Amino acid sequence: MKLQRRTFRVFWDVHAWAGVISALLLYLMFFAAAFALFHPELNDWAEPRSNAAAHEPPSLQPLLVQLVREQRARAPTHIGFWRHDSALMADLRGSEGERQFRYASDRKQLEPLRSNLGSFLYELHYLGPIPYGIYLAGLAAMAMCLALVTGVLIHLKDLVRQWFQFRPRCATRTWASDMHKLLGIFGLPFQLFYAWSGAVLCLAYVAVQPAFTATVFRGDQTAALATRGYTEAPAPTGKHSSRLVDLDALLVRARALLPGLEPEYVALENPFDEASVVQIYGTQSQFTFGNAALTLRASDGQLLHASSFASASALQRFEAWFYGLHYAEFGGYGVKWVYALLALATCAVIGTGNLVWLERRDRARAQLGNRVLSRLTVGVVSGVPLAVATLFVANRSLPAALLNRTTVEQAVFWIALAVALLCPFLVRSDRRVAGRQLALAGALFALALFVDLLTRQPLLADAVQRGVASALLLLAALCLAAGIRLLRPSSRAAPRSPECDARTLASAGE
């Protein structure tokens, strides 16, 4: 299908402007998303400890007793336990805010969390650390949907030819355009789904759903949650209860009520109130995306609410598939690695898209606005990997006993990103700045791996460490290769050859 000239021009302008406006935020989101897929493993790896994770998850009851004994003065209103494979984390909310803990298998007890590297990168993928960032992320995802649809329409007539076309020896505009379209076509289903699902998660559940609850359910939050298979914890009665619930016994009861249940999150609400309840969330292995939730009364284990995939409504089943696909809750680590590589490929699509737009619109960067955009693009494309690499090095290098270690790690990230964004405005050559920053990022990823191997005893002791080591090695190789490629002398002029002929490029709509 070939579009009329005017229609083509309108779609091209919409595609270009939607992409350029949202590109820098989307680049940060997709780069962080590659790490967000493994955030529980990264939290495990990032802890400054030498022992490997426990082979079997520990019992919860001794850990609950420990938290109550040590943290009772904080008047906790919520105590939760997260299980992921052999790792276990706990969170406590009380009069002094929220605290997080991690199970130390060598001491067989919970210890205050000293690094949340994985959680920070997870939140960064929807711009959580930025004020109102989730709304910005939702708008950027909507702009990406628009850019993808219009991009498919304007390239539809040449889709098959451009699928496998890459001319790295041609001028910047040509090889960047080829890479943009090649990776864009291969990653199109992934990008479309994540643009749509990201917009839904960032905007619908924080903006549309409250309005939906206020109108359809007349403000009844309990009824709105019930349609999705969830329930709110009962309000505290104010009557004190000194009896401590037996979490392990309730987990046994939950598994009996829902066969095949694999608990992932166990929360004790209002632990010292007569209305205390235990909420259990997990999956049922016999179903694909078989999410399940139970609410049990803490005093006697009475079932108050249950939701499973077998009894789920159409809406609940849709949400189970929606979340399962977005968070890669299927196929194991193989699928997560594919998702991560597609996320990095999407970063390349975004960066080359801005480059093509600038090369086509203002090759000499004569206009101030285009010079600023060019420098911001260089700063983000090369600065985000550099900041993340610096974060990993800081995690491996900072003293384990450092107070506010998490705050220091995140401060190092933001400072590194700020410096990387500033550098393109201080050096005239965008290409040289991008090359140097990407090469430095590769070197820092390699340094983080080297320090990790030196400080772990024994080396590569568990699957988590081996996985993170492989990822650091891959990122180091990719960043170094890109940096070295950009630091090589290059001319903007296209060579005189058939594959780079200007008339050929013009006829292809580039």
pLDDT in tens, 431-445: 899 999 999 999 999
**With bands split at pLDDT 50, 70 and 90, how would you rate the model's confidence at 493?**
very low
Q: Of 41, 47, 50, give the one whose Cα is nearest residue 457.
A: 50
> What average pLDDT does the segment 198-216 reach?
81
Return the structure tokens found at 362.
Answer: 């203002």
What are the beta bridge partners of residue 266? 81, 280
Question: DSSP of 298-363, one letter per residue?
Answer: TTT--EEEEE-GGG--HHHHHHHHHHHHHTT-SSHHHHHHHHHHHHHHHHHHHHHHHHHHHHHH-T
Residue with the bigger pLDDT between 268 and 356: it is 268
Which are the contacts of 423, defined by CB distance < 8 A and separation ≥ 6? 379, 383, 433, 437
Rounded Cα gap, residues 388 and 468, in angstroms: 14
**With bands split at pLDDT 50, 70 and 90, how would you rate the model's confidence at 391?**
very high
Q: Of 114, 101, 115, 121, give the one whose Cα is nearest residue 37.
A: 121
Residue with the bigger pLDDT between 208 and 31: it is 31
Radius of gyration of the chain (CA): 26
> Between the CA atoms of 102, 105, 106 and 107, what dihedral angle is there, to the nearest 10 degrees?
60
Least confident of 104-113, 172-181, 198-207, 372-381: 172-181
Rounded Cα gap, residues 229 and 226, in angstroms: 5
pLDDT at 123 over 80: yes
pTM: 0.85
Residue with the bigger pLDDT between 239 and 49: it is 239
- Would the CA dihedral through 344, 346, 351, 356 be positive or negative? positive
Q: Of 297, 295, 294, give the one whose Cα is nearest residue 271.
A: 297
Rounded Cα gap, residues 166 and 145, in angstroms: 25
The full 3-state SS of 411-452, as one line of letters, equals HHHHHHHHHHHHHHHHCCCHHHHHHHHHHHHHHHHHHHHHHH
Is there a contact between 67 and 90 (Cβ–Cβ < 8 Å)? yes
Burial group, residue 506, by CB count within 10 angstroms (0-12, 13-18, 19+): exposed
Is there a contact between 449 and 504 (Cβ–Cβ < 8 Å)? no
Q: Which residues of 466-504 are buried (b: 16+ CB within 10 A; e: fewer)?
A: ebbbebbeebbebbbebbeebeeeeeeebeeeeebeeee
Return the structure tokens found at 189.
Answer: 């289903």
Burial group, residue 71, by CB count within 10 angstroms (0-12, 13-18, 19+): middle
Rounded Cα gap, residues 428 and 54, in angstroms: 52
Phi/psi at 87 (5° precision): -90, 150
**With bands split at pLDDT 50, 70 and 90, how would you rate the model's confidence at 461?**
low
